[in-house]
């Protein structure tokens, strides 16, 4: 595995782990939404694990990583924003609406950037992992958007 490919897979896995930390902060801050956020924590940790699995497959040359279609700096920048959001979430006055809005923006940006399209393989098992990460991220967007709309419709949040 080339250094650039290792840098890419590390950045993607670390990004997922940073999301899990943010969602854990939300779970702790908003106990009425604890189950909702902890489900996302578990999913983000699972995604990081899958990316580490893909990294191991790339090291065995059973997986192709297309570094030309990936901007490591963009992922690192997103991680910085998520880390800033973790600090912001701790502040008094930070609401569940703030949390849902931030989460929706972050999850949507993952899909729009098509980060997971950097992988390619002839292995059906590997292709399933790519598809599963993307589908679960789409599910996150739907769940967060639904919660955001429900919360927005509720009185005085």
Contacts of 108 (CB under 8 A, 6+ apart): 141
- Would you say domain 3-147 falls under CATH 1.25.40? no
Per-residue buried b or exposed e for 122-155, using 16+ beta carbons within 10 Å of the residue's own CB: eeeebeebbeebbeebeebbebbeebbeebeeee
Residue 56's pLDDT is 86
Residue 20's pLDDT is 97
Instruction: Give the 3-state secondary structure of residue 96.
Output: helix
User: Is the separation of the CB atoms in 104 and 145 below 8 Å?
Assistant: yes
* Residue extents of the structural domains in the chain: 3-147
Dump pLDDT digits (tens) for 32-90. Answer: 999 999 999 999 999 999 889 888 888 887 777 777 777 788 888 999 999 999 999 99
Dump pLDDT digits (tens) for 85-121. Answer: 999 999 999 999 999 999 999 988 877 777 777 777 7
Residue 157's pLDDT is 46
Instruction: Give the 3-state secondary structure of residue 92.
Output: coil
Residue 1's pLDDT is 60
How would residue 156 be classed by pLDDT, with cut points 50, 70 and 90? low
């Amino acid at each position: 595995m080339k250094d650039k490919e290792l840098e890419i897979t590390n950045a993607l896995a670390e990004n997922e782990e940073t999301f899990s930390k943010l969602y854990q902060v939300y779970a702790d801050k908003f106990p009425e939404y604890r189950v909702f956020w902890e489900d996302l924590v578990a999913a983000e940790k699972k995604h990081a694990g899958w990316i580490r699995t893909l990294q191991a497959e790339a090291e065995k040359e059973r997986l192709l990583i297309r570094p030309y279609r990936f901007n490591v700096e963009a992922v690192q920048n997103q991680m910085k924003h998520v880390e800033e959001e973790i600090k912001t979430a701790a502040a008094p006055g930070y609401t569940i609406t703030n949390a849902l809005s931030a989460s929706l923006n972050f999850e949507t940006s993952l899909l729009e950037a098509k980060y997971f399209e950097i992988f390619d393989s002839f292995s059906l098992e590997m292709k399933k992992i790519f598809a599963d990460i993307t589908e679960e991220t789409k599910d996150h967007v739907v769940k967060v958007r639904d919660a955001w709309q429900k919360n927005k419709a509720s009185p005085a949040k």
